[in-house]
Amino acid sequence: MSEVIAIIPARGGSKGIPGKNLQRVGGIPLVARAVAAARAAESIDRVVVSTDDVEIARVATEWGATVVDRPAALSGDEASSESALRHAIMQLCDTTTDVATVVFVQATSPFIDPSDIDQAVDMVTSGTHECVFSAVETYGFLWAPDATGDTHGINHDRAVRPRRQDREPHFLETGAFYVMDAEGFLEAGHRFFGRVGFVAVDECSAIEIDDHTQLELARALAPLMVTGGEPIDVDAVVTDFDGVHTDDTATVDSEGREYVRVSRSDGAGVAALRRAEVPLLILSTETNAVVSARASKLGVDVHQGVSDKLAVLTEWAAGRGIPLDRIAYVGNDINDLSCLEAVGWPVAVPGSHPMVLAAARVVTDHAGGDGAVREVAERVLDARTSAAPKRAAVSPATTERSAT
């Protein structure tokens, strides 16, 4: 049977950003975001990652992709994306897979909307186009200097300044994805052949990561791109205490005794996790009797006075045979960053440090000390009762798109 195959080239080497394809945006490795977007597209039959890197292969497999080992000759700085695509197609054809349509997905575009891919695939499989790419509408005036040092307009007459409403838009290639007839691509040897079309995508989804500035911009944008409410599919939950179980304030009496405010709702959420036999650990940098008392009442593990939270988390998880990527960590401040960057589900509460919000895959609706833990617990339990796949797709909310 002819198949629509998504191919994600993701080599291990990168000069601009070392390990770029494994860098996290919204708490998720870039290659994983690409796999998730492709898997969420209804038109795609199989997702393949072409890589020379063991860790990229591990992450790709974990997120549901098939891995094609990319030879060293096609993994250097000078190797083209086309060469990686051609190699992957031939490898698949050798396994009796009939590749009819190729969807070339770039891991460096973290906010791909699966519905845009579906629209592009339909344009190719219906026979109206041989190649379709993602583009963003622009009315920008383009300029370029000439040999004399003067500057001239590329897409306009510099002597005429028409209003926006009087101009026709141009469309800028985003680099996020390209859909091609497989046979035509192999014959042409490049991605633009036959009748070429485009799908106009939302501008906020068009960011492409090539340098550190763009990476940080994507991380800042990620919390705004989350649709929210999805189940949290994990085997354990680990939380900070101050700012997560509490509102990050304390009352101190004249003798120096501290009092904090906690939520009974959070207690009910923890109880539900315990009934479902989901382990929970509280990690606290400070040592305080109130933390011990709360953990004791909740009936959960606690470690206090921890200077290296990640080391304790790693040891605790290993002792229970739970991989870090199957753990949700809930934090709010910079001393939580090492743990947030190590687990599969980094979670932040509203009002967290900006670096924590940028590292989070999920930002809870409820604040610390006001139901955040209950919310996480319910979403963890939802994942256990739903029929959703283990790795939920990550993409911006679907909006209307146009094509040409």
The tokens describing 55, both together, are: 């860790």
Q: Are residues 64 and 92 in contact, defined by beta-carbon separation less than 8 angstroms?
A: no
Locate the DSSP E strands across 13-166: 24-25, 28-29, 46-51, 66-69, 98-105, 131-138, 143-145, 151-153
Handedness of CA 388, 389, 391, 395 (dihedral sign): negative
Hey, what CATH topology would domain 236-385 get? Answer: Rossmann fold (3.40.50)
The secondary structure of residue 107, as a DSSP letter, is T
DSSP for 123-157, written as a single string: HHHTTS-SEEEEEEEE-PPPEEE-TTS-EEESSS-
Q: What is the spatial distance between Cα 279 and Cα 264, in angstroms, rounded to a whole number?
A: 19
Give the model's pLDDT for residue 174: 94
Do residues 67 and 30 make contact, with C-beta atoms less than 8 angstroms apart? Answer: no
Tens-level pLDDT at each residue, the chain (404 residues): 589 999 999 988 877 788 999 999 988 999 999 999 999 999 999 999 999 999 999 999 989 999 999 988 888 777 888 999 999 999 988 776 788 999 999 999 999 999 999 999 999 999 999 999 999 999 988 999 988 989 988 888 888 888 888 888 899 999 999 999 999 999 999 999 999 999 999 988 889 999 999 999 998 888 777 655 678 999 999 999 999 999 988 888 787 777 888 889 999 999 999 999 999 999 999 888 889 999 999 999 999 999 999 999 999 999 999 999 999 999 999 999 999 999 999 999 999 998 899 899 989 999 999 999 999 999 999 998 874 444 444 544 333 333 43
The predicted structure's pLDDT at residue 113? 94
pTM over cut 0.85:
no
Q: Where are the domains of the chain?
A: 2-226, 236-385
* pLDDT score for 259: 81
Spell 207-221 as b/e; 16+ CB within 10 A means b.
Answer: bebeeeebbeebbeb
Q: What is the pLDDT of residue 201?
A: 95
One-letter amino acid at 130 equals E
According to the model, what pLDDT value does residue 73 have? 84
Class of domain 2-226: alpha beta
Query: Going by C-beta distance under 8 Å and a sequence separation of 6 or more, which residues neighbour residue 356?
Result: 331, 332, 333, 334, 336, 337, 340, 348
Residue with tokens 């591990």, as numbered in its chain: 58
Strand partners of residue 377: none
Residue 244 in tokens:
């997560």
CA 261 to chain centre: 34
Query: What distance in Å separates the CA atoms of residue 293 and residue 298, rounded to the nearest whole number?
Result: 9
Per-residue confidence (pLDDT) for residue 225, from 0 to 100:
76
